[in-house]
Structure 1
Amino acid sequence: MTAQPSIDTIAAIATAPGRGGIGVVRVSGPEAGTIARAICGQPLTPRRATYLPFLDGKGEVIDHGIALFFPGPHSYTGEDVLELQGHGGPVVMQMLLTRCLQAGREVGLRLAEPGEFTRRAFLNDKLDLAQAEAVADLIEASTEAAARSAARSMEGAFSEAIRALVEQVIHLRMLVEATLDFPEEEIDFLEASDARGQLDTIRTALGGVLAQARQGSLLREGLSVVLAGQPNVGKSSLLNALAGAELAIVTPIAGTTRDRVRETIQIEGIPLHIIDTAGLREDAVDEVERIGIERTWEAIGRADVVLHLIDATDYLQHGLSEIDDAIDDRLSGHLPPGAPILRVVNKIDLAPAVGAITFGGNRPHVVVANGPNPTEIWISARTGAGIDLLRHELLRVIGWQAGNEGAFLARERHLNALRSAQSHLDLAAERADQQDKALDLFAEELRLAQEHLNSITGEFTSDDLLGTIFTRFCIGK
């Protein structure tokens, strides 16, 4: 991408709001050196930390701190950049930013917009778009695994994988276009250049990248896990067991939970947003419970996974109740496409006699069943029996692969682009298998696949998309 020079200089507080030991004000643009001389009272040696007083317009000291000046293009944004590191009180930071704006009034200094520093880094070829997004993902990472994955993407691992795919597609396109340009050669292109074999290699490589991106998407977004079932089956107890803390009120009274209770936990680095809901039943005792049940179904409609809890004592004595059977049927029709249901049979500690026979000494295990719910996990939320097994099954049903160190912290737009590229490569394979071997259609599918791949790194990106991406960054980044 060609660098786009900025006509103005921008400034912002680059550290989070609130009090801290250190705060940073960042300035970027052609007048950063002018601002440095006005505030520091002297020119700064490039890339060398200088401890000095920061001066206001009257020459009085605002604070003492460290000033760093990075001449472009060897800076984060590719422009001249000034960083002023002072004490991290909000008043001090605001005074320092105000002083920067006063000193730069005549040269057009203005406040930076959200994400504008990183946007300039992208426009000046310091980062591609996937790397720029990884900067925000690293800041927002909620787990250590997500942070490590974001750091890999920021360093360019994801971009390198995409560029390798693009180069393979370009090579294949070049051969196709050459054959289209010289039809008189009567060369059987598909056989002479092993185009089908090359295409299969690209499709396999793309499948691997997509799999890694899916894993990274789990790390970034996490999963919404809804606990559903009749009143008093132990949903709140299970939330507490999974979270390892007493978050929800637990009583023997049916219908204790009237509204959603949400807690985020980690399993192998994946954020799981566990949502405890009001018990599902037709005969709500009052208006509050009725509203709570409506909100339960709303949460289920947005869930990635639903845990349908059933009371073990009732289940073992009477089988699946009519109410639970109805819940099963309604869950299947209410969930988003592809969202799995795990049937969790709770309170096995209350059925020890039956459990000694069925579970082998009350040990929980997975029972493979027939019908729409192929997996049941038998647990005791009160004693913790089976909780580790439930955690394992949650990861299994979402497709998480343990020890996946190479995951790219992908966003939904990355997954959509990879899926679209995969679809066009599949269509190209169909063209190659047709008897007429329409090379012009084959070439067009390759071109479309390349465009979708390039959109990930920003080779072909609309200004509207850039605006959407960078305005979600924090100010100062």
Structure 2
Amino acid sequence: MLAPHADPIAAIATASGRGAVGIVRVSGRDVRSLARALTGRDLAPRVATYGPFKEAGGGPIDHGLALHFPAPHSYTGEDVLELQAHGGPVVLQLLLQRCLQAAAEIDPATGAERLPRLRLARPGEFTERAFLNDKLDLAQAEAVMDLIDASTESAARSASRSLAGEFSREIHALVDGLIQLRMLIEATLDFPEEEVDVLSAHDVRGQLLNLQQTLAGVQARARQGALLREGIKVVIAGQPNAGKSSLLNALAGAELAIVTPIAGTTRDVVQQTIQIEGVPLHVLDTAGLRQSSDEVERIGIERAWGHIESADALLLLHDLTRVAAPDYAAEDRAIRAAIADKLPPSVPVIHLWNKHDAAPGAAVPDGDIALSARTGDGLDALRQRLLQVAGWQAGAGDGVFIARQRHLQALAASASHLEAAYAQVAGAAPFLDLLAEELRLAQNALSAITGDFSADDLLGVIFARFCIGK
């Protein structure tokens, strides 16, 4: 656990650049004296007060709204002062500097500095203090940034659910169940003379099975949330003039990439994030794969192969109008072989046969998709295939909470320990000490998500529920 911070902090809380409104935020032990110096009056708690923000000489820097949130009823859990001014960068910098200056001035009423040691906040420090002061747990604190960074409406709604504590409540419910089991097992280890068959008497196997099933459901929703947060990298590859840039434009619904009949038009990667049912897909159009003596095109082709190797999914585009040409077919086989060597089997390759409008009678292999980037025919089938390979479950968005890779790793670790615990219970002669250790490790993994585990938690439950000294 991080140590609590004593120094008050200040920062501009709105994005850089010009805007209609900008906010300077101060958080610390007691900001009332600083508020009087800046506004010339005492502020009523949680009431917006309009007036001038004063320079040291008494003149106005700007006019705006001042709000005072007394501790602990604030975002950080400390006293918070927010100054809402016009959103010019110079105005906000002047206001921030005035806050730092006024904090070091002597308050005539107390004879002390108004807000000693006020300093500029570090990135994320307001939310860090909210976590340290138990206003947010770690998963909720992470959801603040996920909400800001959300690239789709579904991702924003999922981040909002995590910020509201839905993900954390699921984790806490699992942890509570594990604590109850640990309490039973460890009490039995401490008092073996009681000779109580705790496994049968309390249906430990059934409780473990229920925890495993509940955890599996949380894992499934967390995987969906991680997908909404991060999306997948989809690379479009193929020979020159197969229609890769046209496909990118069709998926994006905008003319992003230059399309010409000239082979080698695309020489560098063109990237666009699109969304399908709220899932962000980072689609990259790459240079046509072929042997080239042009230095610039050759560099583009090398970059294309680099992106292919790091893809989460590959769209390999074929040209239906040229499949019968011997040179085209030979190059196509070479590209397929090279991709098979470079890509691990876990990366899905979707074979697309473009220009179906120009070759309407052409057959395509089973499992492949025929489409026309020009007319849009076949794009819906491609979108559904992309959702399938991404692992998205239709209709899952309404109950999904945002999640990160560390959450998925912690959930997977907890599931592994629960599986080992269940194996102990199901064995003919279970070792209670090993069972207790697996339960402890499962709990630690889950509590790492919210950041609130300590050994004293379990100790407190045991003292409250059992008469240890009897």
Q: Which residue of 2 aligns with 1:130?
A: 139
Q: Which residue of 2 aligns with 1:39?
A: 38
Following TM superposition, by how much is the alpha carbon of 1:88 offset from its aligned partner in structure 2, in angstroms? 0.7
Matched, 1:270 2:269: no
Q: Which residue of 2 aligns with 1:63?
A: 62
Matched, 1:209 2:228: no
Q: Which residue of 1 aligns with 2:205?
A: 196
Alignment of 1:283-294 (within 5 A): 283-294=291-302
Q: Which residue of 2 aligns with 1:20?
A: 19
Matched, 1:399 2:408: no
For residues 223-276 of structure 1, give each alpha carbon's deviation from its aligned partner in whole angstroms, at most 9, with x where no partner exists.
110001122111111001101111111122222211111111111111111100
Following TM superposition, by how much is the alpha carbon of 1:319 offset from its aligned partner in structure 2, in angstroms? 12
Q: Tell me the SS of whatever aligns to 1:350.
A: coil
Q: Tell me the SS of whatever aligns to 2:399.
A: coil
Distance 1:263 1:233 in 2: 19
Paired residue type of 2:388 = R
Alignment of 1:455-470 (within 5 A): 455-460=448-453
Distance 1:9 1:186 in 2: 57
Q: Which residue of 2 aligns with 1:246?
A: 255
**Closer/same/farther in 2, CA of residues 326 and 447 from structure 1, 3 Å limit:** farther
Q: Which residue of 2 aligns with 1:415?
A: 408
Distance 2:323 2:206 in 1: 55
Following TM superposition, by how much is the alpha carbon of 1:188 offset from its aligned partner in structure 2, in angstroms? 3.7
Paired residue type of 2:230 = E
Following TM superposition, by how much is the alpha carbon of 1:71 offset from its aligned partner in structure 2, in angstroms? 0.6
Q: Contact 1:153/1:409 (CA < 8 Å) preserved in 2? A: yes
Q: Which residue of 2 aligns with 1:331?
A: 339
* TM-score, normalised relative to structure 1: 0.89
For residues 159-193 of structure 1, give each alpha carbon's deviation from its aligned partner in whole angstroms, at most 9, with x where no partner exists.
00110111111111122212222333444443332
Matched, 1:145 2:154: yes
**Closer/same/farther in 2, CA of residues 27 and 65 from structure 1, 3 Å limit:** same
Structure of greater relative contact order (alpha carbons < 8 Å, 6+ residues apart): 1
Q: Which residue of 1 aligns with 2:429?
A: 436
**Closer/same/farther in 2, CA of residues 332 and 77 from structure 1, 3 Å limit:** same
Alignment of 1:73-472 (within 5 A): 73-105=72-104, 106=113, 107-281=116-290, 283-315=291-323, 321-335=329-343, 338-352=346-360, 354-355=361-362, 358=363, 368=366, 375-404=367-396, 405-460=398-453
Q: Tell me the SS of whatever aligns to 1:443.
A: helix
For residues 131-170 of structure 1, give each alpha carbon's deviation from its aligned partner in whole angstroms, at most 9, with x where no partner exists.
1111111111111111111111000001001101111111
Distance 2:193 2:136 in 1: 45
Following TM superposition, by how much is the alpha carbon of 1:328 offset from its aligned partner in structure 2, in angstroms? 2.8
Q: Contact 1:32/1:82 (CA < 8 Å) preserved in 2? A: yes
Following TM superposition, by how much is the alpha carbon of 1:314 offset from its aligned partner in structure 2, in angstroms? 3.6
Q: Tell me the SS of whatever aligns to 1:48.
A: coil
Task: Specify every segment of 5 or more residues in structure 1 that has no aligned partner in the other structure, as ranges.
Answer: 360-366, 369-374, 462-477
Q: Contact 1:18/1:89 (CA < 8 Å) preserved in 2? A: yes
Tell me whether 438-447 or 110-119 shows the greater mean CA deviation.
438-447
For residues 107-136 of structure 1, give each alpha carbon's deviation from its aligned partner in whole angstroms, at most 9, with x where no partner exists.
211111111111111000000010111111
Q: Contact 1:302/1:336 (CA < 8 Å) preserved in 2? A: no
Q: Contact 1:303/1:336 (CA < 8 Å) preserved in 2? A: no
Q: Contact 1:6/1:29 (CA < 8 Å) preserved in 2? A: no
Paired residue type of 1:151 = S
Q: Which residue of 1 aligns with 2:461?
A: none
Distance 1:319 1:440 in 2: 68
Q: Contact 1:4/1:124 (CA < 8 Å) preserved in 2? A: no
Paired residue type of 1:332 = A
Q: Which residue of 1 aligns with 2:29?
A: 30
Q: Tell me the SS of whatever aligns to 2:272.
A: strand
**Closer/same/farther in 2, CA of residues 100 and 228 from structure 1, 3 Å limit:** same
Paired residue type of 2:356 = I
Distance 1:84 1:14 in 2: 10
Following TM superposition, by how much is the alpha carbon of 1:448 offset from its aligned partner in structure 2, in angstroms? 0.6
Distance 1:34 1:295 in 2: 59
Q: Which residue of 2 aligns with 1:470?
A: none
Distance 2:344 2:6 in 1: 48
For residues 260-318 of structure 1, give each alpha carbon's deviation from its aligned partner in whole angstroms, at most 9, with x where no partner exists.
1111111111111110011122x223222221121111111221111111112344788
Q: Tell me the SS of whatever aligns to 1:321.
A: helix
User: How many residues are aligned here?
Assistant: 443
Distance 1:395 1:219 in 2: 11
Cα RMSD (Å): 2.0
**Percentage identity across paired residues of the two chains:** 62
Paired residue type of 2:450 = T
Following TM superposition, by how much is the alpha carbon of 1:200 offset from its aligned partner in structure 2, in angstroms? 1.2
Distance 1:138 1:198 in 2: 35
